[in-house]
Structure 1
Amino acid sequence: MSPDLPPVVPSVTAELVGALSARLRKRLDAGVTKLLARPVTRDGDTVRISVDDETDVVLHAPSGAVTGADAIRCGCLLAPACLHRAAAASAAPVADGTADRDPDPDGATGTRDGTAQADRPNAESEPETATPAQHAAARAVFDAAAAVLEAGTDGSGAVLQAELLHAAHTARLAGLPRACAAAVSVVSAVRAARTADPAYRLTGLADALAGVLGVAHRLPHATGRELTDLRGTARQPYRPDGSLRLYGIFSEPVLTATGYAGAVTWTADADGRLYTVSDVAPGGPARATGAADRAVRIGDTALTHRELSRAGLAVSGATVSPAGRLGAGAGVRAVRASGAAWRDAPLDRLWAVPPAEQVTRALSGAQDLLFLEVTLTGTVREATGDCLLADCAGVPLRLTTAHDDPALPCRDNLRLLAAAGGSRLRIVARLVPGPHPRALLLATEHPTDPAARVDLGLDRLQHADLPPGALAPPATDAATGDEAPLHLLRRRVHQAVPGGRRVLTLAGNAPGDSARLRRLGLATAADLLDDLHAAAADRARDTFGRLLPADTGRFARSWLAAAVYTDLVEQALCAHAWGAAADEEAPPART
């Protein structure tokens, strides 16, 4: 996947790949690899790939994304039925048409009264169960995602990706934007894995696969509110919220695997309710850093995101989405107002909530920001890099970076903060569910000036900002022990993602794994592990001893059951580690 190319909507990629002959499909992966190595030039809305000295592939993206097959043109003799157009679409990021964003400053996502037209309640016309078209679309998404899991990322070339994108397009047409977005996220993660993208994370792809399989599996059987949630909404509705007096808290960069970038600024009102102002559009790391210095798109204010994070905003005629995002409709008015320090009212009330209560709120599906007061105690070395150790009300906490892209200062700032050991700081972090208390560090008080704050993804700390004589201590090695033998199941779940079914077939069930799980009280985990290996090895033969086609559905369901179980147990362990109360009624995060 090349960040230099504009995003391409799923239907375009599916159409171009589907039009290839069987012979060209076999050559598609090699064509993508070759195209990724060729020079790319951009001229406004036009991107040109030099295939050779005489042939160019041209992509037109006037709206920031390629929305039609005719917008990708090739100058070779075989065009338009050539391999180059399909390879270009397969090499580009996937445009997520269902992304939750406000695409224009006029607030076109809502109606005049602030409510999205598609989200108006209509109990008489909305069916209680999924329609036949939605049943078929959900089945198509499940089968395509199961095929990706069957092959693993190593075997999921451009053809399998295109089949999943085609299923995503079918889901969107059937009114299933959540399934469409989940399928697109899987394709983006698979492409990141196959191109050795530094931002790729195995756990992220496993979560994405579990998410799309879970939604597609549950949707045909859902009714009522569950069905509404599984369908999702293409755009979040914006509803009137009167006048608001907001105080900036911090800004963070946005950099997604689907080719979108920008900045989001978090604010709060006097009651502690959180609101966000975002500027996200197709782009890469340069746009993520540059968006912080662009004016926010609310009213006539000239405040930039960086300035708003430390100032305030008075809004009249505000429209707000259920997630707290401020709309930018024509009737919204906003002017600059004074801000507040983190230790002053009204923002100080955010840090007055006990950490355990904040974690409980995050695990229940609400916003996952944590407002903590910590004492930095050192660093620990992990496989993915060093992370900060901190004490949070007696809880040993590990703080890691939110982004690893070298264009962002997150990693450098974390290294410098390690030299401020012993400092007691207020921070803003995002919860990472797991057996040990862990969070992504987003913003912090200045190490030497409590009245100032640092946005870790946008501001760059200097040695002069540290306390006198500060010196980063050597990192210690992370503890190798696991909190429970749950890793025996988790590692099999993760092994299947890059290697597919064949990895579990070859690995087999290590002697004693299931027995150890049962001995320590994890009988369900042991049963799931046995079933996962049995599903992987289940290959029947015909009369002549030839292997019959594998039952991808059974393997996908067994894998999904293990992934969901692991997720739920890890949430329970996370709540226990923080001293929080686990929400037994909360659905698993992945599905």
Structure 2
Amino acid sequence: MSPDLPPVVPSVTAELVAALSPRLRKRLDAGVTKLLARPAVREGDTVRITVDDGTDVVLHAPGGTVTGADAIRCGCLLAPGCLHRAAAASAAPVADETVPPDPAGAAEETGTTEETGATTRPGRTSRTAQEETETATAEQRAAARAVSDAAAAVLEAGTDGAGAVLQAELLHAAHTARLAGLPRAWAAAVSVVTEVRAARSADPGHRLADLAGALAGVLGVAHRLPHATGPDLTELRGTVRQPYRPDGSLRLYGLFSEPVLTATGYAGAVTWTADADGRLYTVSDVAPGGPARATGAADRAVRIGDTALTHRELSRAGLAVSGATVSPTGRLGAGAGVRAVRASGVAWHAEPLDRLWAVPAAEQVTRALNGGRDLLFLEVTLTGTVRETTGDCLLADCAGLPLRLATAHDDPSLPHRDNLRLLAAAGGSRLRIVARLVPGPLPRALLLAVEHPADPAARVDLGLDRLQHADLPAGADTPPAAAVPTGDEAPLHLLRRRVHQAVSGGRRVLASAGSTSGDGARLRRLGLATAGDLLDDLHAAAADRSRDAFGRLLPADPDRFARAWLAAAVYTDAVERALCADAWGAAATEVSSPASLLRLRAGTGG
């Protein structure tokens, strides 16, 4: 996947790949690799790729996105049915149509939202008993089945085997789900494709856990939707666009800014603010682009009213907004009726921002695990560093709780990692930080912003600002990294490792003779009986290859393997959240029961 190419809507990629002959489909992955090695030149809304001396591929992207198959043209003799057009679409990022680049839309100003599958009719203001028992339509069940089959094929092949053809089939299923009124399934399927492409291109921001989560998300939605009714069905269908509701006048105080750099080809910045009651609001500027846009967006003016404040300035100043419109997630709209002017900001130690750090860490973690904001406002004492497989991270003490602080993004164009190395030299400093929770068996968070080590009235946005040695306390010196064990307190890693291995290597990794170890029995001996059963079932589903009457191997059952893997992934996620709550001293979250997992493995609803 190349960030130099404009995003392409999923239906275009699916259409171009479907039009290829079987012979060209076999050559598609090689064509994508060759195209990615060629330079791309942008001229306004057009991107030109020189394939060879006599052939150019041109992508026309008005508004920054390729929206039609005819917008990708090739000069070779086989066009329009050539390999080059499909390879260009497969090499480009997938356009995320659920998050339009310009947030100033009609929905923000009218307070409406486009909901598919739950159409609002004139004069209809309340949910009826019929809606409470509503079930998915035949078209939606068929679309969910198509998404499930395509996602199961990707899982069976693993990232190494999920080439452009399998990706296009999942994008086609996603497009079918969108037409059937299932935007949540559509978005989940698209996220799987973007994560697969990031994995195959060795994107530095890719994490195997993210791909596993995306696959579990799309398979879970497709599995539950045919059996859902009422509010559950509405939630599983999802919405195309978030509603923006009027919120009157707001007095906001800047907290921090963070860069955005996604695998879908979007980049920019998001600035977090809070009102006098501690409610959080965001101002975003995210559009198609790469690392250069992520680093430069902080110095762009925010898109609210006529204010000339940049994101970097807003993170330390304030904003007075009238006629505000706000989404359910706290994102501020930029409609024509919104007015905003610059106001004074306050330090983190002053009211009203000070109250964010007054909430106990356990209470903040409970809120995050129950679906609330995953931001943590903590006061910590830096104690050193610890070396992990993904790099060094900071060790800190948070009210007696040992905490690990990792970088929020590994892209070398962002200063996260350099700033973390410098902060390691400020050992013993007591600082206020803003971090994002990472669920796991050990207290862990991604460091986003920190109080300036030498000036408590200042702050550092670790993804945008660069610390210097002069910013550190006098006599600071980086301590040697400690080799602290990183294993789980409970042996859940035995199951998680197999879940992740299936994602990267596919069914064949778990079906090999050397993979059927005694881990299931070990889990049962240590009290995780359900985990042991799920692991054994996963191995059995991977190795299940029946034979016909002549002894020939029959095709594998990808549906059974997908169900077994999904059950293991759901259980692992639930237990990890429970372990996370316990590690932070927070209220325990609900863990999936063995009965519900058995229903999942059997293919029934629940």
TM-score range, shorter chain: over 0.9
| Counterpart code for 1:109 | A
Contact 2:183 2:240 in 1 (8 A): yes
Between the two proteins, the alignment pairs up a number of residues equal to 586
Give matches, 1:176-575, under 5 Å.
176-508=182-514, 510-575=516-581
Contact 1:368 1:431 in 2 (8 A): yes
> Matched residues in 2 for 1:115 and 1:94: separation?
27
**Which deviates more, 226-235 or 146-155?**
226-235
The alpha-carbon deviation at position 508 of structure 1 amounts to: 5.0
- Per-residue CA shift, 1:273-294, capped at 9, x if unaligned? 0000101111111111111111
Of residues 111, 115, 140, the one that matches 1:114 is 111
Change (3 A) 1:105 1:576: closer
- Per-residue CA shift, 1:250-291, capped at 9, x if unaligned? 000011111111100000000000000101111111111111
Task: Give structure 1 regions of 4+ aligned residues with deviation exceeding 6 angstroms.
Answer: 585-588
The alpha-carbon deviation at position 518 of structure 1 amounts to: 1.0
TM-score by length of 2: 0.94
> Matched residues in 1 for 2:2 and 2:234: separation?
35
The alpha-carbon deviation at position 176 of structure 1 amounts to: 1.1
| Counterpart code for 1:70 | D
Percent of residue pairs bearing the same amino acid type: 84
Of residues 104, 107, 111, the one that matches 2:102 is 104
* Residue 34, structure 1, aligned to residue 31, structure 2: no
- Per-residue CA shift, 1:438-496, capped at 9, x if unaligned? 00000000000000000000001011100111111011123054311111111110110
The DSSP-based 3-state class of the residue aligned with 1:356 is helix
Contact 1:107 1:330 in 2 (8 A): no
> Matched residues in 1 for 2:522 and 2:267: separation?
45
TM-score by length of 1: 0.97
- Per-residue CA shift, 1:416-446, capped at 9, x if unaligned? 0000000000000000000000000000000
Change (3 A) 1:507 1:353: farther
Gaps of 5+ in 2: 597-605
Contact 2:194 2:263 in 1 (8 A): yes
Contact 1:508 1:533 in 2 (8 A): no
> Matched residues in 1 for 2:213 and 2:104: separation?
35
The alpha-carbon deviation at position 512 of structure 1 amounts to: 2.9
> Matched residues in 2 for 1:145 and 1:330: separation?
41
The alpha-carbon deviation at position 193 of structure 1 amounts to: 1.2
The alpha-carbon deviation at position 224 of structure 1 amounts to: 1.7
Report the counterpart of residue 74 of structure 2 in structure 1: 74
> Matched residues in 1 for 2:345 and 2:377: separation?
18
The DSSP-based 3-state class of the residue aligned with 1:326 is coil
Report the counterpart of residue 602 of structure 2 in structure 1: none
The alpha-carbon deviation at position 175 of structure 1 amounts to: 1.2
Change (3 A) 1:586 1:287: farther
Contact 2:574 2:590 in 1 (8 A): no
* Residue 86, structure 1, aligned to residue 86, structure 2: yes
The DSSP-based 3-state class of the residue aligned with 1:258 is coil
The alpha-carbon deviation at position 78 of structure 1 amounts to: 0.6
- Per-residue CA shift, 1:272-331, capped at 9, x if unaligned? 000001011111111111111111111111111110000111111111100001111111
The DSSP-based 3-state class of the residue aligned with 2:107 is coil
Report the counterpart of residue 123 of structure 1 in structure 2: 127
The alpha-carbon deviation at position 510 of structure 1 amounts to: 4.3
| Counterpart code for 2:523 | L
| Counterpart code for 1:59 | L
> Matched residues in 2 for 1:69 and 1:107: separation?
26
* Residue 54, structure 1, aligned to residue 51, structure 2: no
> Matched residues in 2 for 1:392 and 1:47: separation?
50
> Matched residues in 2 for 1:539 and 1:52: separation?
45
> Matched residues in 2 for 1:443 and 1:177: separation?
34
Report the counterpart of residue 146 of structure 1 in structure 2: 152
Contact 2:382 2:396 in 1 (8 A): yes
The alpha-carbon deviation at position 586 of structure 1 amounts to: 9.7
- Per-residue CA shift, 1:86-140, capped at 9, x if unaligned? 00000111111123x5x43643333x43222547566358572111111111111
Contact 2:7 2:92 in 1 (8 A): yes
> Matched residues in 2 for 1:225 and 1:116: separation?
17
The alpha-carbon deviation at position 75 of structure 1 amounts to: 0.3
> Matched residues in 1 for 2:228 and 2:591: separation?
16
> Matched residues in 2 for 1:232 and 1:28: separation?
33
**Which deviates more, 82-91 or 498-507?**
498-507
Change (3 A) 1:105 1:179: closer
The DSSP-based 3-state class of the residue aligned with 1:558 is helix
- Per-residue CA shift, 1:27-70, capped at 9, x if unaligned? 11111111111111111111111100110000011111111000
Contact 1:363 1:582 in 2 (8 A): no
| Counterpart code for 1:123 | R
The Cα RMSD (Å) is: 1.7
- Per-residue CA shift, 1:539-589, capped at 9, x if unaligned? 11112222111110000000000000000000000000000002328999x
Gaps of 5+ in 1: none
| Counterpart code for 2:389 | A
> Matched residues in 1 for 2:222 and 2:514: separation?
28
The alpha-carbon deviation at position 225 of structure 1 amounts to: 1.7
| Counterpart code for 1:116 | T
The DSSP-based 3-state class of the residue aligned with 1:249 is strand
The DSSP-based 3-state class of the residue aligned with 1:244 is strand
The DSSP-based 3-state class of the residue aligned with 1:210 is helix
| Counterpart code for 2:435 | A
The DSSP-based 3-state class of the residue aligned with 2:106 is coil
| Counterpart code for 2:4 | D
The alpha-carbon deviation at position 507 of structure 1 amounts to: 4.7
Contact 1:539 1:547 in 2 (8 A): yes
The DSSP-based 3-state class of the residue aligned with 2:52 is coil
> Matched residues in 1 for 2:80 and 2:217: separation?
36
The alpha-carbon deviation at position 246 of structure 1 amounts to: 0.5
**Which deviates more, 170-179 or 472-481?**
472-481
The DSSP-based 3-state class of the residue aligned with 1:388 is strand
| Counterpart code for 1:165 | L
> Matched residues in 1 for 2:186 and 2:93: separation?
15
> Matched residues in 2 for 1:344 and 1:463: separation?
27
**Which deviates more, 476-485 or 19-28?**
476-485
> Matched residues in 1 for 2:301 and 2:513: separation?
55
